[in-house]
Chain A
Amino acid sequence: MTNAIEIKGLVKEYKDFKLDNVDLTLPGGCILGLIGENGAGKSTLIKCLLGIIHKNSGSISILGRDADTELADIKEDIGVVLDEVGIPDSFRYKHINAVMKNTFRNWDEKMFDDYMEKFKLPKNKKFKEFSRGMKMKMGIAIALSHKAKLLVLDEATNGLDPVIRDEVTDLFYEFTRSEDHSILISSHIVSDLEKLCDYVSFIHKGQVLLNEEKDVLLEEYAIAHCSEEELKELDPTAIRGKKASKYGVQALVRRDAVPAGMNLSPVTIEELFIFMIKEID
């Protein structure tokens, strides 16, 4: 199956920030979570992908097509939710529906209507009267109503209460049941991504630290609970980060490189991310 997204050597340079030589692959039919703290470069990466900002160098292919030459056409098959949903303040449901009907070849009014019901969005309220959570839900409803093959979601679950966030997560999961559907989702709320993603990509200070299958990562790494002395005896390349406290040391280690019998506990994606970032900083 074709990769949904393939980014190679992407560079975007600002005065005080650089997205540095980013390589990223989202296999078709999968969900990739882009994890990073605020300002790490997640939104910059997504904006480059969508052509909202220009890259300095590198190549991007989306759904097997070159984004430099075919981007406008490719977007027929992409549903996007950015961190701010940009809709005119005076618009109501019927106006948004009319615009999208004249925009997307595959716009499905019935589906849009169903999402309005599902998200309990008021049809007669102006967009400016919506809460942030309602705006995000409207963005998600639009993204899901034109039979997209790829969803690109930048902090799309921000502002949603936990119940709705859970429902939305299920919707995204449902979306990828079809094997040609893929999702790129960025968030700094790692717990959201942890249950949803097949692949995770850590981004920190403009650099991709890793891009790996989630289950492989969880299998490969563990948290070792030991003393400083025990840690010193380990192969230094096996340690990806550590945290000392008065009760001892917690270290992120590669399972295959520690001796049998060492006290290990499973690692979460959030812990993996925090340990790696702290090690670098």
Chain B
Amino acid sequence: MKGLLTKDFLHIKTAYLVFFPYLLFMTVMCAASTFAKGNVPFVAIPFIAIFQSLLPLTMIMDDARTGFDKTALTLPFSRKDYIMEKYLLTLINALASSMLFLIFTAGAALMGSNSITDSLSASLLIFSFSMVLTIADMPFMTKAKTAAGTRKVYAISLVLYGASAGHFMAFKSLKDSIKNVHIPLHTSTVVFAVILAASIISYLISAAFYEKKDI
């Protein structure tokens, strides 16, 4: 498992490092907005989480493209290890991005003498949104029979995610309605709990599919 995690972190570092300046930029912008306006911009959450959510799926897609999925099965790992590692990567990634967001926006809130409850709520949502694509897509990606199949699942989910975000941005009335959206901490906590439960179910389904798959 450690070897697989090392591989994915190094793969992200060497090929997808561009995701992190984006995350940092968005987080800093949210912190600045929190400081200036006194409230956390919840509307930015899906845009912060999307790339974090895509990373583990990108790893699966790249593994299929480069043949590392086969290599992994020549190394001392089981199929369950391989799938578990992708969920673990998602979890670590989600945790890191939500912690980063919490530190920046809570700091900004405290500097403006505001409560950090909204920062906590938003961070829980970032965690949840960062897990959502993996939870939804991983079973389909593990079931896909070919590298082209995993690419198709990836593309479809990217289009759906982009379309739903674009939908809100495209129509002024919708845009205005979500602009000042505020999600209370208890709602975020429920979403967080649901996402955690869903990720366990998603893992079990993905592991079962992968167990049966001919690579």
Could you list which residues of chain A lie within 8 angstroms of chain B, going by C-beta atoms?
47, 50-54, 71-76, 78, 80, 82, 84-92, 95, 98-100, 102-104, 152
Contact = CB atoms under 8 A, between A and B. Distances in A.
Given A72-B78, A72-B81, A91 B215 contact: no
B76 A86 contact: no
B11 A88 contact: yes
B73 A50 contact: yes
B70 A82 contact: yes
A86 B66 contact: yes
Contacts of A88: 7, 10-11, 14-15, 62, 66, 68
A104 B3 CA distance: 8
3 A-B pairs with the lowest CB-CB distances in the bound complex, closest first: A86-B67, A103-B3, A80-B74
How extensive is the interface on chain B, given as a class?
20 to 34
B76 A73 contact: yes
B71 interface: yes
Nearest to B68: A86
10 contacts: A50-B73, A52-B73, A71-B78, A87-B68, A88-B66, A91-B10, A99-B7, A100-B3, A102-B2, A103-B2
Nearest to B14: A90
Interface string B34-66: 000000000000000000000000000011001
B144 to A, nearest CB: 16
B71 to A, nearest CB: 4
Contacts of B3: 99-100, 102-104
B112 to A, nearest CB: 42
A89 B66 contact: yes
B113 interface: no
B177 interface: no
B70 A86 contact: yes
